[in-house]
Structure 1
Amino acid sequence: MSRPVVAVTRRVFPEGLAVFEGRAEVRTNDADVALDADGLAKHAAGAQVLLTTADTPVTDALLAQLPDLKLIANIAVGYNNIDVAAATRRGILVTNTPDVLTEATADMAWALLMAAGRRVSESEQWLRDGKWTAWAFDLWLGADYHGTRLGIIGMGRIGRAIARRAHGFGMEVVYHNRRPLPIGEHGATWVTREELLRTCDHVVLVVPYSAESHHLIGAPELASMKPTAVLVNIGRGGVVDDAALAAALASGKLAAAGLDVFEGEPKVHPDLLAQPRAVLTPHIGSATPRTRRAMLGLAVDNVIDWLDGKAPRCTVNADALPVETSTPQRG
């Protein structure tokens, strides 16, 4: 019998796919171009597994064209690029890659927080433009961190890792989830979202995107924050109203922002691009060699579990199918 087909939507480390040799036919996207809906349908035609990245939209319309598909292995912890409900209706399992990117993404949150608050990008550009002709006592004053109050909205694995780092700065850490967490290693205090926004010197968003979290931070929320505050978003684009954020920065209602995710990325709102007090990075929160290899490795492990007739270790929608009926025929 023919081997199952694993369609890979973007270029990944080729050595990470070597484990499939002799077990599955691997169909790669060597040109590494972002495939449109028609291109994805052609690329994945006849495949049982889609190994994909967070920039690839897997819609109900696409799934309707892939009747052989049994597993979508997302190389990301988030999976808002996939219509999970549609996949579940069609008996398609969805997996993700939690934990392995926690520390790298928490580091990135701090990189953005420090760069935005201490005006690193802004002052570097000023220096590169040849404007540094003399030192001044009040030159490029930025934000304090030691002894200030940090608010984290979304206290999952990454949020807790950010909180651990904050204690090294002697910061008071508060957080908001829908419900308080048991007291633990994070050493943070639950507060309402309104109190967090109103009282914190720095706010970090680590929230997945959903209809419920769309524009969680918009003009009213930004107006409630301290004008000296720094906002960082490493969750997902769409959680922040980017146009409202740009307006708040332009008017001085907010001191600075650091963003790794955007609405409609890779496009970025032009008003944000024009804001010198916004530090902008192209969704690179997990972009270290060790972390990206670990993400690919975990996604591949999910596929191998399925090939072996086991429940994938990081299944998002375990109720999609009984595992035994999702196992491909092998010969």
Structure 2
Amino acid sequence: MAFLPGSPYLNVFENFRPYFVKEVRLRGEPMILAVDDVIPYWREAFAPLGDVRSFSARRLRAEDLRDVDALVVRSVTRVGPELLEGTRVRFVGTASVGMDNLDEAYLAARGIPYSNAAGCNSNAVAEYVTAALLVVARRRGWELPGKQLGIIGAGHVGSAVEAKARALGIGVILCDPPLADATGSRRYRPFDEVLAADVLTLHVPLARAGPYPTWHMFGHSVFERLTERQFLVNASRGAVVDGAALEAALASQRIAGAVLDVWEGEPRIRFELLDRVDLGTSHIAGYSFDGKVRCTQMIVEALSRHFGLGTAWSTEHLFPPPKQLEVPPGASGREAVETAVSAAYDIVRDDANLRALRDLPPEPAAAGFDRLRNEYPLRPEFRHYSVSVDPRSVDLAATLTGLGFRVAAG
């Protein structure tokens, strides 16, 4: 569930759980679930739990939920009083890592439990960052082993990014104030110290208030402290970065460049900012096949636990056998890694697809952004690829294995 152990709300929800389950069963009807129709395998996954009604996220209204018991949304759907007042919704699942789309205070006050899918797409985002760094390094002539990567947010995603960065030989420095306070570990360094890293990559939730606010964490004051050698990657939430401040920093060459997967005001993004970044994509960093399946599976499990249904969804049959990748004969270790990663995930294509919307009027461009997300061809993660490597290339095999590929003697 969304609440930490010891939360005063947790016991309240546990006490009311039997009532919610009994209420559904006493009606003598299947439980009614409303599920976003873009969630992968929604029909197969949720049908065993009850009567499933699909909806389009941008068109969902309160009147659609009057007799619904459980609501399953994506991050694009705001869930609060405007959507739930007058409904009988007793559980909300968001098929996303973050929960900034949920009015948590309202849900707690109404006694409505909620769950997200924290960590479901952490490896997918880490693979996205890997692909981005390799493309930027090739274009800019960087030697990645000579760079230091500052990871801000060292949870599920940040930890996965750290592992892949180390596999590439990149130095890593971590910043995570909540984890630093909770653990007292010196592994997590102060924000000011991490700001000196060559590349800064953001993997934090969006929080406007509280002890660790992240809204506009990177604004004018932070960009003024950076230098022209530094680079920014944001694959967390758009508003963690002040878009206008970033655009100004790039225009003035205050920083070297940026990669953005997330944008303020989605789906109505500023194409002037896209024009200035090295790579820009349509909020699809976490859109791997594996991550989306796991995301759906986690919400099924949470919903089933809450209502005491004991239902599980098996996913093994969904995954294809490994695909063989060949490294060009005589390729250097760097070239071999670039070849394998680009074959598994072509981030340049995703960048081109977003830029193709550049000259459209605002509303068609916004619709195009949504379409790129909603109709995205989910990519298999690196573990679904096997790379043939000369047995003598021990370092290359170790790098590819560290990135998640299967390695076979070639």
Would you say same fold, with TM above 0.5?
yes
Partner of 2:122: 102
Matches of 1:45 and 1:196, distance apart in 2: 49
Give the CA deviation at 1:279.
Answer: 1.3
Partner of 1:170: 169
Partner of 1:290: 290
1:234-267 per-residue CA deviation (whole Å, 9 max, x = no partner) reads: 1111100011101111111111111111111112
Give the CA deviation at 1:19.
Answer: 4.8
Distance 1:268 1:144, change over 3 A: farther
Partner of 2:106: 86
User: Contact (CA 8 Å) 1:73, 1:303: kept in 2 or not?
Assistant: yes
Partner of 1:9: 36
Partner of 2:301: 301
User: Contact (CA 8 Å) 1:173, 1:189: kept in 2 or not?
Assistant: no
Q: Map of 1:70-149 to 2, 5 A cutoff?
A: 70-119=90-139, 141-149=140-148
Name which of 192, 195, 210 aligns with 2:193: 195
Q: Show structure 2 runs of 5+ residues with no match.
A: 1-27, 313-410
> What SS class does the counterpart of residue 98 from structure 2 fall into?
coil
What TM-score do you get using the length of structure 1 for normalisation?
Answer: 0.78
Matches of 1:229 and 1:118, distance apart in 2: 16
1:99-154 per-residue CA deviation (whole Å, 9 max, x = no partner) reads: 321111111122233334544xxxxxxxxxxxxxxxxxxxxx44331121110111
User: Contact (CA 8 Å) 2:62, 2:82: kept in 1 or not?
Assistant: no
Matches of 1:177 and 1:290, distance apart in 2: 26
Distance 1:62 1:21, change over 3 A: closer
Partner of 2:70: 49
Give the CA deviation at 1:44.
Answer: 2.0
Q: Give, as a single letter, the amino acid of the residue that structure 2 aligns with 1:191.
A: R
Matches of 1:111 and 1:143, distance apart in 2: 14
Matches of 2:224 and 2:183, distance apart in 1: 31
Distance 1:254 1:17, change over 3 A: same
Matches of 1:203 and 1:19, distance apart in 2: 38
Matches of 1:273 and 1:106, distance apart in 2: 22
Greater relative contact order (Cα < 8 A, sep 6+):
1
1:173-201 per-residue CA deviation (whole Å, 9 max, x = no partner) reads: 111111537699xxx9432211211x210
Partner of 1:25: 51
What TM-score do you get using the length of structure 2 for normalisation?
Answer: 0.63
Name which of 54, 62, 79 aligns with 1:58: 79
Q: Give, as a single letter, the amino acid of the residue that structure 1 aligns with 2:190.
A: T
Q: Map of 1:311-330 to 2, 5 A cutoff?
A: none
Paired residues, number: 278
> What SS class does the counterpart of residue 63 from structure 2 fall into?
helix
Q: Show structure 1 runs of 5+ residues with no match.
A: 120-140, 313-331
Matches of 1:23 and 1:189, distance apart in 2: 43
Partner of 1:216: 217
Partner of 1:151: 150
Give the CA deviation at 1:47.
Answer: 0.6
Give the CA deviation at 1:22.
Answer: 5.7
Partner of 1:267: 268
Partner of 1:326: none
> What SS class does the counterpart of residue 51 from structure 1 fall into?
strand
Matches of 1:41 and 1:286, distance apart in 2: 29
Coordinate RMSD, CA, aligned: 2.3
1:46-65 per-residue CA deviation (whole Å, 9 max, x = no partner) reads: 11100111111112322223
Matches of 2:69 and 2:136, distance apart in 1: 44
User: Contact (CA 8 Å) 2:79, 2:101: kept in 1 or not?
Assistant: yes
Give the CA deviation at 1:269.
Answer: 2.0
Distance 1:100 1:22, change over 3 A: closer
Distance 1:100 1:243, change over 3 A: same
The runs of at least 4 aligned residues of structure 1 exceeding 4 Å deviation read 181-184
Indicate whether 1:34 and 2:33 are aligned: no
User: Contact (CA 8 Å) 1:113, 1:232: kept in 2 or not?
Assistant: no
Indicate the structure with greater helix content: 2
Q: Give, as a single letter, the amino acid of the residue that structure 1 aligns with 2:95.
A: I
Q: Which one is further off, 248-257 or 53-62?
A: 53-62
